[in-house]
Amino acid sequence: MTVPTDKPLLAVLSGERRDPPPFWLMRQAGRYLPEYRELRAKKGGFLDLVHDSEAAAEVTLQPIRRFGMAGAILFSDILTVPHALGQDLRFVAGEGPRLTPILSEHGLDELTPDLTLLDPIYETVRLVAGALPDETTFLGFAGGPWTVATYMVAGQGSRDQAETRRLAYGDPERFGAIIDAIAALTIDYLSAQIDAGVDAVQLFDSWAGSLSPAQFERWVIAPTAGIVAALKQRHPDTPVIGFPKGAGGKLGPYARETGIDAIGLDETVDPAWAHRELPDAMPAQGNLDPLALIAGGEELRAAVADIRRALAGRPHIFNLGHGILPDTPIAHVEALRDMLAEPLQ
């Protein structure tokens, strides 16, 4: 794979070690930015903003203009896939997403897919790709099938995904059909993002940590491996980052068995342990606690230094262990950027 030397993050995804490390922040295009809140107020609901390609492109670009991250993450949502599969999607203020009909009570055959709902997202990708600085890597994404399925089955987020886990144990054939439908569309969705202009893609499996080892193997590793293999057939030079939040000790099998090119670490993972357990030279991404970024000061500086030292022996993309929080001070993100520009001592 030939990687442009002017894209540091893409170079790291191809296996290069860079010091200082390139960085981007999960949910960096969002509520902590005053320019985002201003645009959101003008445009209305969250889903309206996602489907307004020009506005979504603007949101994607806002943190790059302000902070100069090495990576831009597409502004969208993992629930665009169930929406396109035929579930109604709405976001309730203060409560989060709601999907209907819920698949704990209804069948996939009751849904009428509408893949045109994804067209505005592809247009967002084209607009952003044409506007990013040459050195910025453009990241597309989708939700991991397990995580997306938890919303489709329950109709909303939950603390322990119990309803979905019950269905997976009680009727694995029916649940497997849901996973297969999500995975099939995810392959086409990510492939279309790549065709439209993203440089790499990430699979967010935000609820992977709720599964037992055997269920993790069945509902996280196996479908992820299928998605990665299909994407590699279509786009052999496009890196895939996997982020199985909460996987803990299952990170090693996930990294070895899914075919991903790089792995995201959440904030609960000891980066020194991860460096020992992960395949040699696999790029790692992460894993600053979002609350350490809010704290700032010496606590932030110490945490940043610890992560950089622990992962200095492998390709490393600096990131948070999960999404940036809405009350994060802008000055702390600026301080993080400046810390990361310094060589590791």
Spatial distance between the Cα atoms of 159 and 222, rounded to a whole number of angstroms: 24
**Domains of the chain with bracketed CATH:** 24-272 (3.20.20.210)
Among 70-74, 117-121, 157-161, which is the least confidently predicted range?
157-161
Burial of residue 19, with CB atoms counted within 10 A of its CB: 0-12 exposed, 13-18 middle, 19 or more buried: exposed
Distance of CA 268 to the CA centre of its chain: 17
pLDDT digits (tens, 9 = 90+) for 55-77: 999 999 999 999 999 999 999 99
Spatial distance between the Cα atoms of 62 and 45, rounded to a whole number of angstroms: 19
Q: Report whether pLDDT(1) > 70.
A: no
Task: Please indicate whether residue 312 or residue 5 has the higher confidence score (pLDDT).
Answer: 312
Active-site amino acid positions: 27, 31, 40, 77, 151
pLDDT of residue 5: 58
> Sign of torsion, CA 74 77 79 80?
negative
pLDDT of residue 95: 77
Q: Report whether pLDDT(160) > 60.
A: yes
DSSP string over 8-23: HHHHHHTT---SSPPB
Q: Report whether pLDDT(147) > 60.
A: yes
Across residues 45-61, what is the average pLDDT? 96
pLDDT of residue 45: 86
Q: Report whether pLDDT(158) > 90.
A: no
Q: Residue 92's pLDDT band (boundaries 50, 70, 90)?
A: confident
pLDDT digits (tens, 9 = 90+) for 226-273: 999 999 999 999 999 999 999 999 999 999 999 999 999 999 999 999
Q: What residues are paired with 97 via a beta bridge? A: 91
Task: Please indicate whether residue 108 or residue 345 has the higher confidence score (pLDDT).
Answer: 108
Q: Residue 117's pLDDT band (boundaries 50, 70, 90)?
A: very high
pLDDT of residue 244: 98
pLDDT of residue 93: 78
pLDDT averaged over every residue in the chain: 96
Spatial distance between the Cα atoms of 140 and 52, rounded to a whole number of angstroms: 17
Q: Report whether pLDDT(174) > 80.
A: yes
pLDDT of residue 171: 97
The answer to whether residues 204 and 243 touch, using CB atoms and an 8 Å cutoff, is: yes
Across residues 91-108, what is the average pLDDT? 91
Across residues 278-297, what is the average pLDDT? 97
Q: What percent of the chain lies above the pLDDT cut of 90?
A: 94
The answer to whether residues 278 and 255 touch, using CB atoms and an 8 Å cutoff, is: yes
Spatial distance between the Cα atoms of 307 and 275, rounded to a whole number of angstroms: 10
